[in-house]
Amino acid sequence: MDTRIIVIGLAALFLQTACAATDDPRQGGLAGYWYGTSSGKYEERQQQRQNRLEEQQQTQQELTEESERLNTERALQDQKLAQEQKRVLRLEKKLSSLSANINKLKVKSEKQRQEVATLKTQLQQTKQNLEKQKAAIADLDAQGGSAADPDQVRALEVERDRLADEYRKLNVYYQALSNAVH
């Protein structure tokens, strides 16, 4: 019987030694489980995992919020670019209408013919500048919209305003010339 006790004692000592090698209750069999759960290491590992999960969820939440903010900003910039395209198209229609009106003028003198020719030349230059503006907007749109280059959008807006001012001046010149012809 003494041998039995010695064998049981050695077996218990062996199990304790095997369990002390790991604090993971999934390893070491039943004795490893008992040791891992009774030593508090299991709860500590669970808490570490929970902390890592919470950190990852927080990071994911922050990334989601940033993505939504960027998408909103991009949508606003794209809307701004679309409005710019509409403004340029309206200006183009106005220039076409002015051109048609200029072509209808019946001039009575050589001086009026020269003024009409000057007006037509200025109008043609404005149309060419407007075409460049449209091409620049199309290029910007193809590159990813206004979010791709906000500075370019501002430059396009300034150029559009300059072209609109040029149109107004041409229109005033046309009105004056029209009144002189009639």
- pLDDT-derived band at 65 (thresholds 50, 70, 90) equals very high
The pLDDT value given to residue 181: 66
pLDDT exceeds 60 at position 22: no
Q: How is the chain split into domains, by residue range?
A: 2-38, 79-181
Check residues 14 and 160 and name the one with the higher pLDDT: 160
The pLDDT value given to residue 48: 92
Average pLDDT over the chain reads: 80
Q: What is the Cα–Cα distance from 97 to 118, expressed in whole angstroms?
A: 17
The pLDDT value given to residue 31: 58
Evaluate whether 173 touches 119 at the Cβ level (below 8 Å). Answer: yes
Distances (CA, A) of 105 to 100, 119, 126, 143: 9, 12, 19, 43
Query: Which tokens go with 92?
Result: 């183009």
Evaluate whether 45 touches 22 at the Cβ level (below 8 Å). Answer: no
How many other C-beta atoms lie within 10 A of the C-beta of residue 72? 10
Query: Burial of 152 by CB count in 10 Å (0-12 exposed, 13-18 middle, 19+ buried)?
Result: middle
Evaluate whether 23 touches 36 at the Cβ level (below 8 Å). Answer: yes
- pLDDT-derived band at 27 (thresholds 50, 70, 90) equals low
Reported as a single tens digit per residue, the pLDDT across 48-59 is 999 999 999 999
Could you give the percent of the chain with pLDDT greater than 90?
Answer: 15
Could you give the percent of the chain with pLDDT greater than 70?
Answer: 81
Whole-model pTM: value is: 0.56
Place of tokens 């407007």: 130
